[in-house]
Amino acid sequence: MEVQYLYPGIKIIEKPAIFYYQTEINQLLSLIVNTFYRKKEIFLRELISNSSDALDKVRYISISEPSILNDEPDFYIHIIPSKANNSLTVADSGVGMSKMDLINNIGTIARSGTKRFIEALQQGTDLSLIGQFGVGFYASYLVSVKIIIYTKTTYDHYYAWESLTGGSYSITRIGPIKNFGRGTRVCIFLKDDQLEFLEERRIREIVKKHSEFISYPIALEVEKIIEKDVVDGENKNEVVVEGKSDIKTQPKRIKEVKKELEILNKQKPIWMKRIQDITEEEYISFYKTITNDWEEYLSKKHFIVEGQVDFKAILFIPKRAPFDLFDARKKSNNIKLYVRRVFIMDNCQELLPDYLNFIKGIVDSEDLPLNISREALQQNKILKVIKKNLIKKVIEMLFELSCDNDDYGKFYEAFSKNLKLGVHEDSQNRSKFAELLRYRSSKCPDESVSFKEYISRCGTKQKNIYYIIGENVATIKKSPFIEKLISKNIEVLFMVDPMDEYCMQQLKEFEGYKLVCVTKEGFHLEEFDENERKKFDELVEQYADLCTVVKEIIGDKVEKVVLSERIEKSPACLVTGEYGWTANMERIMKAQALRDSSMSSYMESKKTLELNPYNKIIQELNRRIELDRTDKLIRDLSHLIFDITNIVSGFSIENPTNFSERISRILELGLNISNEKPYPKRNTYKKNGNIDYWNGLNSYLHKVD
């Protein structure tokens, strides 16, 4: 079996020792390579992580044994591509490995046994315990045809480990290698279809994505073209002056390729510094680096959690919301997850809930366990603890931001929908998110107020927070639903965001105050005094026949007709059931192109028509019913009042044509241009000797139903 080495002229001290994997090893390696690593670029991240671990070990040992640094005082990680050999080398000045380390660490799978190892995978064992390289080293098989490892510890010889065909590997004691005092060099001979990993651009991209915040400098060997002056005797310029020959030698410039090391991870992990030592400029630079945002952030939160789980995090709130913030097809990549400064992923859905998808930042955990690779996190309680702490810190940051009205106004304009989603989805933190909501109101139409501010202005008898949801503030201000409340100087919150409909479905109370929608049934003014309540009860009895007759005329279009406590000037209003859709919600759902019609019929609950006993139209209608409930005019007026109330209450009219014709006939009557012959008035309805066009068997409005 032939053993080959990358370095020419290397001296072999002892004959190579051949070791064989178990018979199932090829199947197991195939499982590791093809199942647990979805992206081939991961191999470079794993090798750099292994080098970082080795440097951590030698740095720790050097505290008690400074002499370990005599052979190699510098800490480094070098990446050396060679297009001539189709090889990529990752070198470090870490602790290195002895022969037994190579057997135990690199050959761990063979020693442990295939069956036991597969069982460990299935049980989610923390595989970082398996040697220096762990399973991550085997990600190199994704891209390689052969692997050679050179290693040297301070107290042992130089050794070379080489992967061989037939499920075997060799370990050879070799002579010293120049400029290699301690550490490990992993040489990957790439497959023909994986030569992209020799390109400088590709290597830079991988290091920036996965290993930018490794504590040690990562240097890439690059080729630089330099110009050099060369004096060549054959390249002389002869100048003749007054018959004399004057020879001047001018240098010739040639281009030369020079190799040098260039540091790739210049951006240091600022979360490893003490918080008080980090400047605002550093935070801004770091934010722009991880987000590619050209603007500064709006707010930040830098914190360290120690105890049950140890991790560091920096969270940012941007100034603007992206146009695709709620695009379900877009994968969120706002929170970058690191484990010991090694990038793991930027689309970890388990770190923050969807409603906080605007938060950007990093989380770096020291003890977060991993599955077979650093790509897939285990679903365990440690991750849940991290998530719980992140949500807590985000809420703290939002409350801190709310102290600045200007900045919070910018935030609320961009991300208020996220807060309302938090109220809708997060039952545990619902009250905290509710405290962050802001609305205009009847007392502050041009400013936003919180629920706490609303409560501070409540009267002693008031136990409810009243709100109305509509299309815009201008419409809401003139809504009949708030007339009585306004007259009694009771504040009403104006909600105009479609998301408020979903938010209020879950938010039923705030700090002991019940939230009451003034457009739904079940509305009762607790602020009525005893005399007002007694008077209203008398009106209910007085207008009982009116409510019964109007319900018979309108039929199934409404569930019931009652007197209203909420309106003061308008003749009537149309309210929905307590658990059904409001008029605004009904409008929103009808605008959905892919709506479920069966759901619509269920949620569009029966309406209640509420009549205003203080309105002159209703009073006249009641008078006519008392005189003659068979009067055709009562039927016509009832339909007209119902149609008008539909519009004013925010609903649509079922038959606009009939409504239009009815209005046109009224206009003709009012302008006295009608061609219809009015029915002679009844004596009962004499008014100043004028003809009553509204009464009789051929009543005018009765012609349009």
Annotated binding site for ATP: 46, 50, 92, 97, 105, 112-113, 132-137, 184, 374
Residues in the chain: 705
3-state secondary structure 82-132: ECCCCEEEEEECCCCCCHHHHHHHHCHHHHHCHHHHHHHHHCCCCHHHCCC
Rounded Cα distance, 538 and 515, in Å:
29
CA dihedral (362, 286, 326, 502) in degrees, to 10, reads 70
What counts of helices (H) and strands (E) characterise the chain? 21, 24
Look at the alpha carbons of 27, 31, 32, 37 in this order and tell me if their dihedral is positive or negative.
positive
Residue with tokens 């003809």: 691
Residue 511 backbone zone (phi > 0: left; psi -120 to 50: alpha; other: beta): left
Measured at the CA of 651, the angle between CA 647 and CA 653, to 5 degrees, comes to 70
Measured at the CA of 334, the angle between CA 332 and CA 337, to 5 degrees, comes to 105
* DSSP notation for 622-636: HHHHHH-TT-HHHHH
Rounded Cα distance, 495 and 653, in Å:
24
Q: How far is CA 452 from the centre of its chain?
A: 28
Q: Are residues 169 and 162 in contact, defined by beta-carbon separation less than 8 angstroms?
A: yes
3-state secondary structure 456-471: HCCCCCCCEEEEEECC
Residue with tokens 């990752």: 90
Give the contacts of 642 (CB within 8 A, at least 6 positions apart). Answer: 554, 557, 558, 572, 574, 609
Q: Are residues 10 and 173 in contact, defined by beta-carbon separation less than 8 angstroms?
A: no
Distances (CA, A) of 472 to 66, 445, 478, 583, 586: 73, 12, 11, 13, 15
Instruction: Pick out the residues of the known binding site.
Output: 46, 50, 92, 97, 105, 112-113, 132-137, 184, 374
Identify the helix (H) or strand (E) that includes residue 598.
Answer: helix 597-603
**Token pair of 659, please?**
């409504």
3-state secondary structure 224-266: EEEEEEECCCCCEEEEEECCEEEEEECCEEEEEEEEEEEECCC
Q: Are residues 235 and 190 in contact, defined by beta-carbon separation less than 8 angstroms?
A: no
Rounded Cα distance, 395 and 416, in Å:
14
Task: Tell me which residue of 342, 343, 359 sits closest to 393, measured CA to CA.
Answer: 359
